[in-house]
Structure 1
């Protein structure tokens, strides 16, 4: 808690002042948690001061709150590209990311416990953003965008969290997910220069080569999707089927999401649909699958390593003809494929 208060003071997060007439301060509290390594061991004990966002007043304490977040499909695209091109992957973590955002509103906060102050009527006038504020994520991303854009990086139109820089033969790609940063490219010197710039601007922790990122989890088979349809009315047969899936997962630990090198990086997509597959609602189940790279057998597309996106869903309307369900699938399939085309275009694929 003491180190967190010191970091807040060093960042000039607030200024102690008396509360102006007519102003209502928002509350705050301490949140304690354990931070773990990728192997599950304890890294450190962490204390974080968060604002009570539910005490904020819209139009007074905040206005816009939207902040872009990287799509998992973009993460997988970047991984596939780096492996195919034999590029190194670097992971960075931003210290106290949300504290870097600048506030445009006049916000007063009740002083946190442990903060020394003179006078009982003193409050904290926030100069910088704070964890818990409704606009905290938005202001941090705006600050990061301002910095990375000044270095010549271009924001992707398909995913606002993806930035690329192409200077002659040098290419660098950066993906940010809240306070986690993923960097890859063909120029190690440019990557190191970018790391140093980010460290000087935001205090970055270099985690080295990518080993564990966002805890990405991939659904193994269609059975998991089918089980989710019966979450509210479970029966013994569903339990027995779930146990069989667990046995399969235990006996096939190596069946993961693999990105082989020497890939052609050719974008391929497939879609399919049944017709009135649900006996109760008569709705159709459709889905699509997208690959970045070559493949040998379309029939095995659910299990191929180059899979970037697969999504089954139930159409919310009843299709009178089988072709209607197919057309619904084609429409979503085309939308997603266009999304991938917009992602990989700035990646020089």
Structure 2
């Protein structure tokens, strides 16, 4: 606690003043305690933090704008895939007490933290810095960081405001920010070091060396590329729910299992169910092989049944046997961008809504994927396919612009592979009739990109459609065949040690 108070004083976070008039709001404060862990599960340090009770703030009086951008996981994977492909070094830094660097525009008074006895009894703290807990704290910090990088000659990406870049005579320098954690990479290694020194002069920075652990992702660099997995996260999840000694299974979901809303006896502890499923969702970052199973069980969060819980437990057993499995980004210099799209038509037994799945591949690296049950019933398989194609085409365009900003110019046309010849004919030819009028927007969007040479459609045999893994369950052999096609595996399969 003394370290926290010293840090607050060093940043001149507040001034102790007399309590303002009765009509001026004074928000509360509290202590918040955090246990910081290392990658191996040992304790790094105990941390105490003073937090403002932001829920007591009033809009228009002591806060206005609150939005601050947060990078997408697709951006993280794309950056790492480019770094693997180009063999760029990956550096990691952490900003100490990041929010305390933000400047406040509003006048805010806060009660003194419990146990802080500086000043008289009737005095309060007038804040000068964006203390943790304030509604505008994250925005104030991001604005400060953004302005600092602009001063260094960096510009932000229009596709992801948390990504900054600077082109130099020696190449390019990239920085990706996630709140107070940052990754620095690029072809200009001297420029990366200059950026590090500039940031250390501007903020209280902890240099974490080469990137190895970021946002719960374990990053392992091998001679052949970069492997991302969430082994520590999975182990913690299994321990939290007493599944660390369970018997592993070979697939994430039983073959031909069709859960319904009323599948068996009602499970009373809905909070436990929601806790497990919520934790599983974060594993989508590196584990597309569980996307379909988790998408299915997440439909029953409000009133889970025993059968739903049994499926959740099976996912945990599958993860127990595949803790070290992750997504691999190979070191191969190719700039092709392609996507795969598929659907499970009317697959939900309760609503007959379709489930779509798609993935985007940069070179040999899969950098984006999605599995989602549609919010409306599709009247035909063509409509379901077009909706999925339209979504993945938007993602392709977004990633192409993001890569361009990173200095990677993808060749066009980009390829989209589907296993439905009917939708390919409709997209390539100017045909619209009563059966397709209701999907005109999706059709025209895809067709425009085909006609201008940006997109090229391919037919792929169903047995070769990798994205099937995101739309249904399979036998063990089929499941692992598709997983290997998606570059899923462990470090022993992808080139050994760091």
Equivalent-residue separation in structure 2 for 1:244 and 1:103 (angstroms):
49
Moved more, 36-45 or 110-119: 110-119
Contact 1:14/1:128, CA 8 A, preserved across alignment? yes
Contact 1:84/1:265, CA 8 A, preserved across alignment? no
Question: In the alignment, what sits opposite 2:14?
Answer: 14
Q: Secondary structure at the match of 1:327?
A: helix
Give the alignment of 1:28-107 within 5 angstroms. Answer: 28-107=29-108
**Does 2:285 align with 1:284?**
no
Equivalent-residue separation in structure 2 for 1:314 and 1:243 (angstroms):
22
Q: Deviations over 1:75-115 (max 9, x none)?
A: 00010011111111001000000001000001011111232
Question: In the alignment, what sits opposite 1:138?
Answer: 139
**Does 2:151 align with 1:154?**
no
Q: Deviations over 1:251-296 (max 9, x none)?
A: 44443111111241322111112221112211111121111113xx
User: Of residues 368, 375, 378 in structure 2, which corresponds to 1:309?
Assistant: 368
Question: In the alignment, what sits opposite 1:303?
Answer: none
**Does 2:263 align with 1:262?**
no
Q: Structure 2: which 5+ residue stretches go unaligned? A: 218-282, 409-498
Contact 2:332/2:363, CA 8 A, preserved across alignment? no
**Residues 141 and 279 of structure 1: is their aligned pair in 2 closer, same or farther, counting only changes over 3 Å?**
same
Contact 2:341/2:389, CA 8 A, preserved across alignment? yes
Given the two structures, how large is their TM-score scaled by the length of structure 2?
0.65
User: Of residues 378, 381, 391 in structure 2, which corresponds to 1:319?
Assistant: 378
Question: In the alignment, what sits opposite 2:2?
Answer: 2
Moved more, 220-229 or 261-270: 220-229
Question: In the alignment, what sits opposite 1:223?
Answer: 293
**Residues 241 and 14 of structure 1: is their aligned pair in 2 closer, same or farther, counting only changes over 3 Å?**
closer
Q: Secondary structure at the match of 1:147?
A: helix
**Residues 235 and 125 of structure 1: is their aligned pair in 2 closer, same or farther, counting only changes over 3 Å?**
closer
Equivalent-residue separation in structure 2 for 1:174 and 1:209 (angstroms):
14
Moved more, 157-166 or 338-347: 338-347
**Does 2:386 align with 1:341?**
no
Contact 2:103/2:128, CA 8 A, preserved across alignment? yes
Point out which structure has higher relative CO (alpha carbons under 8 A, 6+ apart).
Answer: 1
Give the alignment of 1:234-249 within 5 angstroms. Answer: 234=304, 237-238=307-308, 241-249=311-319
Equivalent-residue separation in structure 1 for 2:51 and 2:108 (angstroms):
14
Contact 1:81/1:265, CA 8 A, preserved across alignment? no
Q: Deviations over 1:103-153 (max 9, x none)?
A: 000101111123232322211111111000000000000000000011111
Q: Secondary structure at the match of 2:67?
A: coil
Contact 2:162/2:176, CA 8 A, preserved across alignment? yes
Q: Secondary structure at the match of 2:68?
A: coil
Equivalent-residue separation in structure 1 for 2:313 and 2:120 (angstroms):
63
Contact 1:284/1:318, CA 8 A, preserved across alignment? yes
Q: Secondary structure at the match of 2:192?
A: helix
Question: In the alignment, what sits opposite 2:344?
Answer: 274
Question: In the alignment, what sits opposite 1:209?
Answer: 210
TM-superposed CA distance for 1:154, in Å, is 1.2
**Residues 334 and 9 of structure 1: is their aligned pair in 2 closer, same or farther, counting only changes over 3 Å?**
same
Equivalent-residue separation in structure 1 for 2:186 and 2:405 (angstroms):
12
Equivalent-residue separation in structure 1 for 2:371 and 2:134 (angstroms):
35
Moved more, 220-229 or 133-142: 220-229
Question: In the alignment, what sits opposite 1:177?
Answer: 178
Question: In the alignment, what sits opposite 2:263?
Answer: none
Moved more, 58-67 or 241-250: 241-250
Equivalent-residue separation in structure 1 for 2:319 and 2:120 (angstroms):
61
Number of aligned residues: 338
Question: In the alignment, what sits opposite 1:300?
Answer: none
